A and B are shown apart, each in its own frame.
Chain A
Amino acid sequence: MLTPVKRDSGSVAALDPADEADLIARCRAAERAAHDEFYLRFRRQVAGNLYRVLGDRTDLDDLVQEVFVIAFRGLDRFRGDARLSTWLYRICVNVALGRIRTRKRRPAAYGVADLDAASADPSLTERPETPDRTLERRQEQEQVYRALAQLAPKKRIVLYLHEIEGLDLKEIAYLVDSNPVTVRTRLFYARREFYRVLAGAPAEEDEP
């Protein structure tokens, strides 16, 4: 079984496997209270995952809705070969991938305002950031998301999960429903492209 791959500063304590199985069984029985519990337990994790992958909050409500509808619809097929949170993360990744593909056809601008809507976990820093540092951090994040936007959707997801979320190839392969070798190949090309754009370097001339 794959262990949970995502941590979210706003999430509630993890369910133990017995409680998780019970919650799934009650959701499968279309118990309204179980659906509510499921939603309350995972809503912040789902919204956080989508927000981080996409980098802006446009239509985030709709995407969160989509993830939960897919989850409730697909719980019957959930075999339990991964933790529930991991399975949900997989749905998030697929929903985000769909959104990225749509956006590729109609690119959206990344603005400071988008990144201002949420902020980093305050526990990350001992003392409050200065306004200059906050602005600088937002600009850096904006650069990263701009560089990510240059990549093909599949490469982008793989790169994000590996370089930013720090997941290994096996975990990524489960999330994107692929095999580790394919993931490694995608990652190889994605890293070259991403860091070149992030560094502001031209396409060729680099050391092999």
Chain B
Amino acid sequence: MTAHVAPHRWADAWKGRLDKAEVAEMDRHAEACARCAKARDRITRASSSTFPAMRVQSSPELSWDAVRAKIHWSVSTERHQRLRPSRRPLAAAWVLAGGLVAAAVVTGSAREVAHERAVAVAPTSPQEIAPAPLAGLVSRLSGAVMIDGLRAGAFDRQLGPGAVIATGDGRIDVQFGDASALSLGPRSTVELRRFDADAIELAVEGTIDIAVAPRAPGQRFVVVAGDREIEVRGTQFRVVHEAGALVVACRHGLVAVRDAHGELEVGAARRLAVPSGRAVAGQAVAPLSADELAQLVQATPVTTPLWTDVAELARSSAALDIATVGRRSVRLDGVELGQAPLRVRVMPGRHTVEAADRAGRYHRAGWVDVKAGTPARLDVHTDVDAPPTASSAARRRELHAGIAAHRPQLARCTRALAKAGVTDTYVTIEISVDASGAVGFLNVLDSDLPNVDCVLEALRDVRFGAGSAATWREKIAL
């Protein structure tokens, strides 16, 4: 062999595609040729170790929740756009009317047809003045929330027509008028399809609680849940729209739920459940239980006591961060806000914060003086050393098995530290699992890692079966 060996032949040789005599001849050539020897070494090494290593390389950790929220936002926005009524018929009518006018001018009967045109198009004249758009201001925020696909700065955003709000494990309250606000629950999306003085139209997937002051005559307020609508005049109510099923629960006032086949009214302290694929008309309105009513009271959106111009309100109020170790129910000035950590909009002055212990009793956690336009923060320190529940032993075993299964994933979280010689890291978590095996909450109480997101991501992948409900704390060596 006088010419050099074509490099891809070394790959063929490594894969055993060449006969032994041919490989031997190539090797003899490589012994005398530095270039071919180098090519052989490189390609053999790549084939034997680099390619297999690449083949099993796993994905780096990403902001999974943020990606999921973006996907949901994209998909739901597309779906809503498809469902939106098309404006083409109107445009076609205009073209047709224009055509008629032109034809009439040509035939010398312009005057008569011009009169016909005026009669035909007057109700939908494009010169009509558009209603003034409304603006919303975030009044409470906790957990992962995204507005128009952006997570950063959500609390300070003003919301207008077309805005899309999506929540991960978080919750957001938006005030849009005096005593009028919405509260979007976890894993939900709402699109402000119409948001002006004439009408408010919200398209929702998931859970939304709404409190609306009585509307002026001619003002519409509609929540669109798939192919059904909920129309209100002035009330507080909850809409849950998931997997095609709809539940409407009304705390006070009156709402009308309708679809293509009919309409039902849901009054104060009553609820209507419409299973997926069923018509509204065939369903029964039932009274709310005391627990359900209490849930509605707790879900009341936060509103500021005085509603003025949005920009002015943003200037004259301030954000108050209530920080807790793990999740704790908190009250602000005696009003329950739900689970902290959260951020709430408050007016200037002194505010008292209380936090609940495990038994649900509220204790004063401190007070904070707030100035207009200046963010404030209060750290809540509560006694979190309650013993684990008795039924946690079996759940603990499940957690340990899950951790063992996810060891490689956890090892990646500490790889950089391990390389720097830092070992024996740990994370202390508090976890709650219900009887169905669903994780109620998973909080990191303590850790010596600079960032626990990666570990949390791995632990969230641990699955539990059906069994006893349990809440306990666990120190995990990493």
Contacts and interface: CB of A to CB of B under 8 A. Distances in A.
A177 interface: no
Among the interface residues B42, B49, B57, B68, which one has the most CB atoms of the partner chain A within 10 A?
B57
Interface in A116-166: 117-124, 131, 137, 140-141, 143-144, 163-166
A99 B202 CA distance: 36
Contact of A122 (B9, B67, B408): B408
A16 to B, nearest CB: 17
B68 A195 contact: no
Nearest to A188: B8
B7 A69 contact: no
A119 B58 CA distance: 7
B352 to A, nearest CB: 38
A33 B244 CA distance: 11
Interface string A181-208: 0000000000110111011110001111
B64 to A, nearest CB: 6
B66 A61 contact: yes
A7 to B, nearest CB: 8
B6 interface: yes
Contact of B59 (A12, A32, A118): A118
Interface stretch (B74-82, B109-117, B362-370, B382-390): B74-82
A119 B412 contact: yes
Interface stretch (A44-52, A79-87, A100-108, A168-176): A44-52
B58 A8 contact: yes
Interface SS of chain A: helix, strand, loop or mixed?
Answer: helix
Given A8-B58, A69-B75, A200-B42, A39 B412 contact: no
Nearest to A131: B419
Interface in B403-458: 408-409, 411-412, 415, 419
Contact of A118 (B58, B242, B243): B58
Q: Interface range on chain B: under 10, 10 to 19, 20 to 34, or 35 or more?
A: 35 or more
Nearest to A31: B243
Contacts of B71: 35, 39, 65, 68-69, 72
A30 to B, nearest CB: 6
A31 to B, nearest CB: 4
Contacts of A205: 3-4
Contact of B6 (A9, A26, A121, A192): A192
B46 interface: yes
B56 A124 contact: yes
Contacts of A51: 57, 59-60
Nearest to A72: B75
A199 B74 contact: no
Given A61-B66, A61-B67, A201-B7, A52 B50 contact: no
B475 interface: no
Interface in B15-58: 35, 38-39, 42-43, 45-46, 49-58
B4 A32 contact: no
B237 interface: no
A143 B163 CA distance: 46
Given A60-B62, A198-B46, A200-B38, 7 more contacts: A36-B68, A39-B71, A60-B59, A68-B67, A123-B408, A141-B50, A195-B7
Which 7 residue pairs are nearest across A and B when measured between Cβ atoms? Answer: A199-B39, A47-B59, A195-B7, A48-B59, A199-B7, A118-B60, A31-B243
